[in-house]
Amino acid sequence: RKEVEQDPGPFNVPEGATVAFNCTYSNSASQSFFWYRQDCRKEPKLLMSVYSSGNEDGRFTAQLNRASQYISLLIRDSKLSDSATYLCVVTSSGSARQLTFGSGTQLTVLP
Amino acid sequence: NAGVTQTPKFQVLKTGQSMTLQCAQDMNHEYMSWYRQDPGMGLRLIHYSVGAGITDQGEVPNGYNVSRSTTEDFPLRLLSAAPSQTSVYFCASRRDGGNTIYFGEGSWLTVV
């Protein structure tokens, strides 16, 4: 079983739609959680951190469920520019705090 | 503000050749790392360093060497290239204790 698992998609949604991605992680000692965005043939970039209480950044909402070991990302009012691959990232405990990446969920927003 | 710079962006190697992917960061970050990204596999950690003179293996270190003689530079060496090393390579850095990891633009490597 992979440490971090995501539905690879692809998710094809019309502009204005709401779409949600889930991610599960296997290490209960994981400490920090993030969503990264990766455009085609580009490097990943931090989209947002995920906090236990849930957090929102404009049209994006991230939530964490430690008991069930999953995190989610909700995108409201999808824009064409949201088309990308969304990577779930989990950090381990320990001094190096390694990041473990999910394989990503591909989103295409259609006009 | 250059951030993380890696070169070359594209490279084709023959099986058995060696090469070095260069990575430099100008943010004075202690932590640097190399990942490879393959379709359906996500980013996998090859090697990492928590400071100058300190390196350690990640998830997929075989066939690669690294060194960290300065805070700024973290080159990745392919000792004897194999087709299985065809991939996209990303160098990354973050400050010690920081949450945000900054990536270079990637190096597309093909081994034939």
Give 10-residue mean pLDDT values along chain A (111 residues): 85 96 90 92 93 92 94 97 95 73 94 95
Inspect the interface and report whether the beta carbons of A46 and B100 lie closer than 8 Å.
Answer: yes
The label of the residue with tokens 């947002």 reads A48
Inspect the interface and report whether the beta carbons of B45 and A103 lie closer than 8 Å.
Answer: no
Taking the CA of residue B99 and the nearest CA in chain A, the distance in Å comes to: 8
Which helix (H) or strand (E) covers residue B47, if one does?
strand B42-51
First to last CA, chain A: 37
CA dist B73 and A54 (Å) reads: 37
Inspect the interface and report whether the beta carbons of A96 and B105 lie closer than 8 Å.
Answer: no
Give pLDDT, residue B70: 96
CA dist B3 and B103 (Å) reads: 8
Give pLDDT, residue A31: 81
Please list the ranges in chain B whose pLDDT falls under 70.
Answer: 1
Inspect the interface and report whether the beta carbons of A103 and B31 lie closer than 8 Å.
Answer: no
Q: B45 near A4, Cβ under 8 Å?
A: no
Q: What does the buried/exposed string (b/e) look like for A45-78 if buried means 16 or more CB atoms within 10 Å of the residue's CB?
A: ebbbbbeeeeeeeeebbbbbeeeeebbbbebeeb
Give pLDDT, residue B109: 97
Tokens of B65: 């060497």
Taking the CA of residue A77 and the nearest CA in chain B, the distance in Å comes to: 26
A41, A96, A101: residue with CB nearest B50: A96
Taking the CA of residue A96 and the nearest CA in chain B, the distance in Å comes to: 7
Give pLDDT, residue A9: 85
Residues of A in contact with B103 (CB under 8 A): 43-45
CA dist B87 and B65 (Å) reads: 16
Give pLDDT, residue B19: 96
B40, B104, B105: residue with CB nearest A8: B40
Chain A residue with minimum CA distance to B89: A43
Q: B43 near B36, Cβ under 8 Å?
A: yes
Q: What is the DSSP letter of A26?
A: S
CA dist B79 and A66 (Å) reads: 42
Tokens of B25: 């960061």
Inspect the interface and report whether the beta carbons of B48 and A34 lie closer than 8 Å.
Answer: no
Give pLDDT, residue B97: 76
Chain B residue with minimum CA distance to A104: B42
Q: A75 near A63, Cβ under 8 Å?
A: no
